[in-house]
Chain A
Amino acid sequence: MRRGAKYALIALAALAALFGPLLTHNSFIRDIWVLVAMWGAVATAWNLIGGYAGGLSLGHAAFFGIGAYTSSLLYLDYHLSPWLGALVGGVAAMLSALVIGFITIRLRGPFFALATLAFAAILGIAATNLRSLTHGAEGMTIPFAPSLAHAIFASKLAYYYIALAVLVVYLALTWWISVSRFGYYLVAIRENEDAAQALGIDALRVKLAATLLSAFMTALVGSFYAQYRLFFEPTIFATSLSTQIALFAIIGGLGTVWGPLIGAAILVPLANELQSILGSSLPGIDAFVYGALLVLAILFVPNGIISMVRPLFAERPLLPAGPVQAELEIEACAIEERS
C-alpha cells in the first residue's frame, strides 16, 4: 500500500511537471515553472558535492557564472551556437573546479565554505573589471533573435521543457550515483573522512571527481539562464546566489535525490508570492519573512522537508534513531579494538 502511495505520488508529480505549465497562459506563473525546474537542476548539481560529499560550497555561483559568460561570449563574439557554447562553458567550469579543488578540497566545514566563497568573489571582481571582455558592470545583453540554433525562443514553454529535460537527467544521474559505489564513497567521506580513508577510499580524488561533475552540471544551467533572461551582470557571481542554491538543497533535504527539487519547488514560488504580496507594502519585508522562515527551517527541520514526508511512505515503521546509532557505535568500537 505504502509503496503504491509512493509511486502514485511520483506519477502525479511527473504529470504535473509535464502538463502543469500548459494549464495557464499567465506568463508570470509560467516563469515560476521555468525557475523551479532551473533552480531545482542547479540545487541538484550542488547536492552532489554539498549533500552527498558534505562539502558545503558557498561558491557555486562561480560555476553558474562561468557557464553564463562562456556561452554568451562565444555566441556574441564568435557566433557559436549556445548549445555548443554551454558544453564549452561546462568544460571551462570543470577546469576552474580543478584549480579551486586543489586548493579547497582538503579543507573541511566552514573553511571549505569560506574558500569557495572567496573563489566566486574573485571571479565577480574579474567580471566587473575586465570590461573589454565582459562589458563590466553594465552586464551582458543577448539580442532577442528567436531560433533553435540560437537557443532563443519566443515561448516560455520551450525554455520550460528544456529545463525539465535537464532536471530529469540530473535527477536520474543523482539516483544512479546514490546507489552506485561512487555514491557510497561520497557518503562515507561525508560521515567520517578519516575512516573512509582508512578503508582505502581515495577521499581527495573522489571529492574532486564529484566537484568536477557538479561544476559541469551547474555551468550548463548557467548557460541556460543566460539564454532565458538574455541579460546578466557580474552580480551573477554574488555570494547571495551561491547561498540561494545551497539553501534550496538544504531546506528540501541534503543528500537525497528529491530534496533539492522539493526545496526549489517550495522556496521559488514562496519567494515570488512573498514579494508580490508584501514587497510593495514595505521594501525588504518579503526577504525578512523568507529569511526568518529559513532560519527556523534550519534549526527545527535540519534534515529538510523530505524528512517530514518520508516516514509516510516507509514500507515498515522506521526504527527510532537512538538504539541503532548506539549499536553501530558499539560495533565500530569492537572493530577498532580488533584492529
Chain B
Amino acid sequence: MTVALFIQLLAAGVLLGGVYALISIGLTLIFGVMRVVNFAHGEFLMVAMYLSYYLVTSLHMNPYLALIVVAPGLYLFGLLVEIAIIKPTIGRSDVVQVFATVGLSIVLQAGALMAFSANVVGLNVPIANALLHLGWLTIGVPQLIAFLAAMAVAAGLFAFLGRTDVGRAIRATAQDRGAAALMGIDVPAIYRLTFALGSAMTGLAGGLLMPIYSVSPTVGEQFVLVAFVVVVLGGMGSVSGALIGGLLIGVVETFSGFVIDPQWKQAIYFLIFLIVLVVRPAGLFGVRGSEELSR
C-alpha cells in the first residue's frame, strides 16, 4: 500500500467517521441523561432523511438550507415521542424500556412504507457528486460538509453542556437524577429537552446524509447498528466518546473494506463491538459502572 493510497483511505475513513459520529451523538446524549437506549434511533434518522428528501424535491430547497427545517422538525418529533412513549417508560423495567422503542421502530418503518412505498430514492442534485481535488487527494464535497458539520455540532454541544445553565442542569441530571431534583431541577423537563435535542441532532445527521445516501423505509437498520457500535465503543453517554468512536469505526470500516472484502467490513466492527464489551464494557471514555456490569 502506497503512502498516497494510505492517506486517501484515511481521509475517506475520517470523513465517513464524522457522519457516524453525528448519527451517534444524539443516541449517546439521550442514553447518558435518561438511561434510555432508543432502539428506534435508526428510524428517527429515516424520518429525517425523508423530510429532507421531500423538502428538496418538492419545494426545490437546497439540501443544506433544508436543515433549517429538518432539525427543528425532528426536535418537535422527538418531543412528541418523548411525551407519548418514552416518559411512560421511565423508571419501569428493562423489558418495557427496550421493547417500547423496539415497537416504535416497527411502527415508524411500517408508516414509512405506507407513506413512501418501499422504493429506494436519492437526491439528484449537482452537489451530491461534487468532488474536491487537493493534489492527488480526492474528497467528496457532501462528505466534507457532513464531517465539518459533525465537528461543529459536537463543539456546539460541548459549549452548551459546559457553559449554559440548562447544559449544567442536563449534566447534573445525568450524574444523579435524585440529587438534581432536590436542587430544584425539573427532571421531567430536562428529559423532554434532552430527548428532543438528541432527536434534532439525528435530524441534522439525516439531512446531511441525504445528498450522500439514498433513503428507503429500512435505511435506519443499516445505520442504527453502526450507531450502537460507536456509542458502546466510545462509552455510553459520552459525547466525546461518540465523536472519537465514530472516527475510529469510520477508519476501520474503510481500511477493512479495502484490505479484506467490503462485504465483511460490517462483521469487523461488530467483532470490535464484542471485543470492547469483553475487555472494557464501559467503552473508551465511558464512566465505569455505566455499563451495569455484574460484579
Asked if B183 is at the interface of the complex by the 8 Å CB criterion, the answer is: no
- Give the CA-CA distance A269 to B37 in the complex, in Å: 30
Residue of A nearest to B97 (CB): A110
The interface bits of chain A over 191-208 (1 if a CB of B lies within 8 angstroms of the residue's CB, else 0) are: 001100100000110000
Asked if A311 is at the interface of the complex by the 8 Å CB criterion, the answer is: no
Q: Which of B99-107, B162-170, B196-204 contacts A (4 or more CB under 8 A)?
A: B99-107
CB-contact partner of A299 in B96, B113, B271, B292, under 8 A? B96
Asked if B274 is at the interface of the complex by the 8 Å CB criterion, the answer is: yes
Q: Among the interface residues A54, A203, A282, A288, which one has the most CB atoms of the partner chain B within 10 A?
A: A288
Residue of A nearest to B290 (CB): A111
Asked if A103 is at the interface of the complex by the 8 Å CB criterion, the answer is: yes
Asked if B219 is at the interface of the complex by the 8 Å CB criterion, the answer is: no
Q: Which of B46-54, B87-95, B125-133, B173-181 contacts A (4 or more CB under 8 A)?
A: B87-95
B96 & A283 in contact (Cβ 8 Å cutoff): no
CB-contact partner of A243 in B89, B100, B102, B292, under 8 A? B102
The answer to whether A129 and B277 touch (CB under 8 A), given A110-B98, A118-B229, is no
Residue of B nearest to A136 (CB): B263
Interface size class of A (residues with CB under 8 A): 35 or more
CB-contact partner of B85 in A193, A239, A295, under 8 A? A295
Nearest-neighbour CB distance to chain A for B175, whole angstroms, equals 19
Nearest-neighbour CB distance to chain B for A87, whole angstroms, equals 28
Asked if A2 is at the interface of the complex by the 8 Å CB criterion, the answer is: no
CB-CB < 8 A to A107: which residues of B? 277, 281, 291-294
CB-CB < 8 A to B264: which residues of A? 125, 129
The answer to whether A56 and B103 touch (CB under 8 A), given A107-B281, A111-B281, is no
CB-CB < 8 A to A284: which residues of B? 109-114, 217
Asked if B82 is at the interface of the complex by the 8 Å CB criterion, the answer is: no
Q: Is the interface of B mostly helix, strand, loop or mixed?
A: helix
B99 & A250 in contact (Cβ 8 Å cutoff): yes
CB-contact partner of A295 in B103, B118, B292, B295, under 8 A? B103
B98 & A113 in contact (Cβ 8 Å cutoff): yes
- Give the CA-CA distance A104 to B281 in the complex, in Å: 10
CB-contact partner of A250 in B95, B113, B263, B295, under 8 A? B95
> Chain B residues in contact with chain A, CB under 8 A?
37, 85, 88-89, 92-100, 102-104, 106-107, 109-114, 117-118, 217, 221, 225, 228-229, 232, 236, 261, 263-264, 266-267, 270-271, 273-274, 277-278, 281, 291-295
Q: List 14 A-B contacts (CB under 8 A).
A: A107-B293, A115-B273, A118-B229, A122-B271, A125-B266, A197-B294, A203-B294, A247-B103, A285-B114, A288-B110, A291-B104, A291-B109, A302-B92, A302-B93
> Chain A residues in contact with chain B, CB under 8 A?
54, 56, 58, 102-111, 113-115, 117-119, 121-122, 125-126, 128-129, 193-194, 197, 203-204, 239, 243, 246-247, 250, 254, 282-288, 290-292, 294-295, 298-299, 302
